[in-house]
């Protein structure tokens, strides 16, 4: 008491209350009685994905299957999520290209493989069609396949098996003859049912009526590019682009949607000679973006000015080895008819292959490169399992979802959300437990016409 008054307890601050949501720390996922490699799988989904890509190389495909391309042995009209093509299990490829109704690939030996209803309606798995040419890469037109041999020879063959059997058999000397290694740029009509008419050959005034005497698919030199050290070329349906060693970009062809990177001319949308495009060292998009293919968070009808892709620009990550922030650049871009994918050049790790190797601990894991997808999704070609178009790059779930579910149950006992990582190039032993042959291999992403694939490439 205080002079006959009861003392009252007071506080300068309210008494501490128990937190409604106390901070919880995740328990260790390491389990007793399991191997180091099993523990690494439970610790990291990315490590598990990298290991599976080495143990089970092959091809995943998804999207439109009306042409029996994504799943040759299935009657499903669409493949909503990544699915393996059993024929390619355990196989490595040099290249693969996919259209709605046919596809082609080059196997590890350089032989050409074809499948799809446009090749042969009753084909249920890839068939070897051109052997012994040591092919390295290929591209597709509406009805022909152009393949590059290791010696610089360009081969052009029809897609249809019937036409291959009944058509003219050219001699070795007549395969698309032109000088190789001359650092010149040539263009040619790649489809047999129509001659390019929108300036995409890059030769001013060249039409079906003005073409020189000879075969319809004879090469034409693009003289405007003479003297420029061109290193890469890309062709759309009606326009073309060239990149030289100095980083300069040239465009020509049809500009109806602004796909040449400059304003549309109402008098004529056709530009039949290469024009220099003003760009800088970044990732730009332009043209039609109504399906979201410009990745600019908008549904743009026409974009004639090259615009940076926000999700792929100005990215950084922390380099734990050098204790500094480093930029994340673009490693590879694959563009289909309405959708695209970008593989990032982020820091990766693929040297953790066995216990005690390279001074690694039991907690060290591998991880691959980030990959994002965006654009048209009318045939489920984005692999999200849903059909809505995306105007902003998004991640996919791991390719082998069944294996991921099994891994998650062992790890946390619950469903986990992880993203697909592309395994970068490394020299490893294939097969279960790394007991197979030793090869240099990487995963690659390929976007086609309503179809997408990921394959193990040499």
Q: How many residues can be counted in the chain?
A: 458
Query: At 31, is the pLDDT very low, low, confident or very high (cuts 50, 70, 90)?
Result: low
Handedness of CA 313, 397, 384, 238 (dihedral sign): positive
Specify whether the CB–CB gap between 272 and 202 falls below 8 A.
Answer: yes
Lowest mean pLDDT among 266-275, 352-361, 371-380: 352-361
Q: What is the pLDDT of residues 253-284, one digit of tens each?
A: 999 999 999 998 888 899 999 999 988 888 99
Q: Name which of 302, 299, 295 is nearest 264 in CA terms.
A: 302
At 152 the pLDDT is 87
CA atoms within 13 A on the CB side of 308: 10
More confident residue, 195 or 242: 242
Question: pTM for this structure?
Answer: 0.88
- Multiple choice CATH, 36-457, 3.30.310.50, 2.30.30.40, 3.90.920.10, 2.130.10.30: 2.130.10.30
The pLDDT of residue 8: 59
pLDDT, tens only, 412-436: 778 888 999 999 999 999 998 888 9
| pLDDT at residue 182 in the model | 65
Of 243, 271, 235, 234, the C-alpha closest to 256 is 271
Classify strands 239-244 and 230-235 as parallel, antiparallel or unpaired.
antiparallel
Q: Is pLDDT of 355 > 80? A: no
Once rounded to an integer, what is the mean pLDDT over residues 208-228? 89
In the prediction, which pLDDT does 354 show? 62
Residue 176 pLDDT:
53
> Could you tell me what percent of the chain has a pLDDT over 70?
88
Average pLDDT value over all residues in the chain: 90
> What CA–CA distance (Å, rounded) separates 18 from 2?
33
Domain-wise residue ranges, the chain: 36-457
pLDDT at 349 over 80: yes
Span 379-408, average pLDDT: 95
Q: Which of 53-62, 157-166, 206-215, 286-295 has the lowest mean pLDDT?
A: 206-215
């Amino acid at each position: 008491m205080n002079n006959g008054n009861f003392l009252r307890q007071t506080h300068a601050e309210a008494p501490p209350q128990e937190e409604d949501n106390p901070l919880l720390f995740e328990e260790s996922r390491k389990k007793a009685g399991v191997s180091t490699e099993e523990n690494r799988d439970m610790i990291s989904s990315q490590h598990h994905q990298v290991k599976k890509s080495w143990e089970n190389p092959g091809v995943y495909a998804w999207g439109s299957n009306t042409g029996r391309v994504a799943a040759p042995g299935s009657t499903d009209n669409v493949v909503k999520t990544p699915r393996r093509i059993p024929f390619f299990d355990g196989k490595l490829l040099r290249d693969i290209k996919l259209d709605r109704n046919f596809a082609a690939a080059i196997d590890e030996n350089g032989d050409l493989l074809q499948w799809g209803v446009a090749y042969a309606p009753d084909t249920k798995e890839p068939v070897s069609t051109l052997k012994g040419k040591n092919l390295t890469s290929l591209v597709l037109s509406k009805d022909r396949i152009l393949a590059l041999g290791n010696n610089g020879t360009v081969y052009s063959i029809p897609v249809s098996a019937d036409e291959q059997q009944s058509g003219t058999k050219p001699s070795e000397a007549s395969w698309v003859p032109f000088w190789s290694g001359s650092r010149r740029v040539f263009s040619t009509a790649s489809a047999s049912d129509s001659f390019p008419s929108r300036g995409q050959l890059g030769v001013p005034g060249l039409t079906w009526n003005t073409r020189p005497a000879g075969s319809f698919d004879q090469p034409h030199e693009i003289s405007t590019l003479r003297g420029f050290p061109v290193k890469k070329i890309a062709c759309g349906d009606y326009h073309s682009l060239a990149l030289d060693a100095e980083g300069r970009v040239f465009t020509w062809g049809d500009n109806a949607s602004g796909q040449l990177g400059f304003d549309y001319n109402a008098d004529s949308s056709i530009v039949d000679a290469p024009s220099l495009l003003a760009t800088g060292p970044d990732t730009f998009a332009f043209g039609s973006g109504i399906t979201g293919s410009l990745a600019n968070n908008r549904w743009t009808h026409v974009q004639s000015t090259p615009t940076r892709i926000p999700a792929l620009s100005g990215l950084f990550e922390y380099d734990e080895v050098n204790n500094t922030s480093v930029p994340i650049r673009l490693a590879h871009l694959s563009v289909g008819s309405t959708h695209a994918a970008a593989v990032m050049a982020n820091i990766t790790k693929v040297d953790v292959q066995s216990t005690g190797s390279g001074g690694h601990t039991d907690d060290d894991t591998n991880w691959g490169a980030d990959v994002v997808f965006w654009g048209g999704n009318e045939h489920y070609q984005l692999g999200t399992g849903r059909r809505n178009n995306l105007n902003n790059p998004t991640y996919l779930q791991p390719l082998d979802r069944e294996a991921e579910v099994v891994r998650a149950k062992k790890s946390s006992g619950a469903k986990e959300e992880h993203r697909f990582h592309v395994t970068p190039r490394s020299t490893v032993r294939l097969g279960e437990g790394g007991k197979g042959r030793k090869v240099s291999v990487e995963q690659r992403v390929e976007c086609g016409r309503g179809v997408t694939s990921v394959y193990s490439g040499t």
